[in-house]
Each structure stands twice: as C-alpha cells, then as structure tokens.
Chain A
Amino acid sequence: AQKITQTQPGMFVQEKEAVTLDCTYDTSDQSYGLFWYKQPSSGEMIFLIYQGSYDEQNATEGRYSLNFQKARKSANLVISASQLGDSAMYFCAMRESPYSGNTPLVFGKGTRLSVIA
C-alpha cells in the first residue's frame, strides 16, 4: 500500500492567490516526520517545511504552511500569495521512527504546480 498519496498530478493557480497541495499518509508509527520538498525544472530537491507527529501546532515557514490533521492522516501544503517562481514539482514525504535503523524518506509521486500570471 502506498504510504504517501498525492492525488493531484497537476494544479494551476493564479499569481498572488493561495493554493493547497494535498497529501495523505499511512503509518502505524507514533513518531514520524512529514516533509514537503520543491523540485524546480533544474532538478534539485529544496526542503520547504517539516511537521513532527508530536507537534501540536501547524508548521509555517514564510509563505508555506502545513495543514496537519493527524486523525485524518493528512499533511496538506498551503502556499500563500503564489509567485511565478513557485512553478515546480512538489513532493510530500514521510520519515518514520528515526530512532531505529534505516529510516528513508518515503515520497509521494508529486504534484506539478503551475502559477499563471
């Protein structure tokens, strides 16, 4: 079963508008971390935001915020005031139980965001 599901292969948003990228996850661990990465056309993976499973408040980093709903196992990324430079592929990822052994990042298949002027 997929551990990270991103149901939106592609999305469009008008410049200066807000956009929500969906992510649901599946884990039986109590301790885990959720991440969002941005991958522009140049290919590098850029870390955007992190949410720990025990964090009570939603994470925010500048224009990025993570809407964390633990009971629903969702970790949606909200980008406010979209800019043309936000056009990229966005990946949701999870890292389980970092205290024990191999803990790879497990990635979703990504959402391609296009910002329109």
Chain B
Amino acid sequence: EAQVTQNPRYLITVTGKKLTVTCSQNMNHEYMSWYRQDPGLGLRQIYYSMNVEVTDKGDVPEGYKVSRKEKRNFPLILESPSPNQTSLYFCASSSGRGELPSYEQYFGPGTRLTVT
C-alpha cells in the first residue's frame, strides 16, 4: 500500500529538549515536504527536499532542521523546541517529475506536538 508514515503521532515535550519526527514514504518519490498547521493560519511549508541531499527552506523554517540521506526518509529535527512550535505537523511527498500524478501530494497522518 502506497503511504507516508510519520512517528510519533503524538508528542508532549519540554522546552529545549531536542526531538526528531520521522517521515518515510514507500512510493519512491523525489519530492518531500514538511508543513505545520496552526488554527486560523492553515498549512505552511517548513522545509522541502527535491531529492537526496537536496533540501531547502520553505516559508517558516526558523527553529527546524531536516536531512535527506535516503530517498524514502525525511526527518524533521527540532534542536531546541519552544512553545511556539506547538502545532500539527504533516509530512508530504510527491513525484518530482512534471507528469500529472506529480500534482498530488500524499500526506502522512500528522504529528501533534506540544511543547511546554
């Protein structure tokens, strides 16, 4: 089954304690992306990756890091989480080619993060 998985699904942590949210896709997609969703603001892109070892900032990258060492994995790293990073996080992937199926982004189930 084609899917994007994220772990953990729920996380409560304290300010300053480093954490990693994992994301993995089994569709051999080149393009992967992280979004955060906040009430009244919709979804905003944090970081994206066009392919292995190719990453770049989205609209709200401050306080986050990513890596893309393998095609299937795109972890989101919060080196020193703060309460304003409390949010719902989504990983998404799509084919990097310009064909019609690449228009669709497949979303993971989301990770609810609370930073106290």
Binding site for B on A (CB under 8 A): 33, 35, 37, 43-45, 47, 50, 52, 91, 93, 95, 98-99, 101-105, 107-110
Contact B103 A104 (CB under 8 A): no
- A109 with B110: in contact, given A98-B102, A99-B98 (CB under 8 Å)? no
Q: Is the interface of A mostly helix, strand, loop or mixed?
A: loop
| A91-B43, A108-B42 known; A45-B90 Cβ under 8 A | yes
Q: Show 29 A/B contacts (Cβ-Cβ < 8 Å), sorted by A.
A: A33-B104, A35-B103, A35-B104, A43-B88, A43-B109, A44-B110, A45-B107, A45-B110, A47-B104, A47-B106, A47-B107, A50-B104, A52-B100, A91-B42, A98-B103, A99-B98, A102-B48, A102-B56, A102-B58, A103-B31, A104-B33, A104-B45, A104-B59, A105-B45, A107-B42, A107-B43, A108-B42, A109-B40, A109-B42
Residues of the B chain whose Cβ atoms lie less than 8 Å from the Cβ of A99? 98
In Å, the complex CA distance between A99 and B56 comes to 17
Closest to A109 in B: B42
Please give the number of chain B residues whose Cβ is less than 8 angstroms from any Cβ of chain A in the complex: 28
The CA of A104 and the CA of B110, in the complex, are separated in Å by 17
Asked whether, in the complex, the Cβ of A105 is within 8 Å of the Cβ of B88, the reply is no
- Tell me which residues across on chain B come within 8 A of A107, comparing CB atoms: 42-44
Among B31, B56, B103, B110, the residue within 8 A (CB) of A50 is B103
Q: How far is the CA of A44 from the CA of B35 in the complex (A)?
A: 13
Residues of chain A within 8 A of B68, CB atoms compared: none
